[in-house]
Amino acid sequence: MQSFAIAAGGIAAATARFDASARRTAAAPLDNLAEEIVDRLQSEVALKANVAVLKTADDMTGTLLDMLA
């Protein structure tokens, strides 16, 4: 189940990227505010995409187990 590990890694990376952007904004609120907003939005999209992969992999595993039962 490599997809679970890949999705989990993507979720961790997106969360870290969002956190880093929030810390940069907290340290210097007016420096590159537009870039930070874009970075956070990209992090949000990446997080949602990885969660969707995780849900799909879970559904597929469940379907496979149902078929084998």
The pTM of this model reads: 0.84
Say what the pLDDT of residue 52 is. 97
Domain map (residue ranges) of the chain: 2-68
**Range in 21-25, 28-32, 47-51 with the lowest mean pLDDT:** 28-32
17 φ/ψ angles, rounded to the nearest 5 degrees: -65, -45
C-alpha 6/C-alpha 14 separation (Å) is 12
- Which residues make Cβ contacts (< 8 Å) with residue 39, sequence separation at least 6? 17, 18, 21
31 φ/ψ angles, rounded to the nearest 5 degrees: -85, 120
User: pLDDT by residue (tens digit) across 31-65?
Assistant: 999 999 999 999 999 999 999 999 999 999 999 88
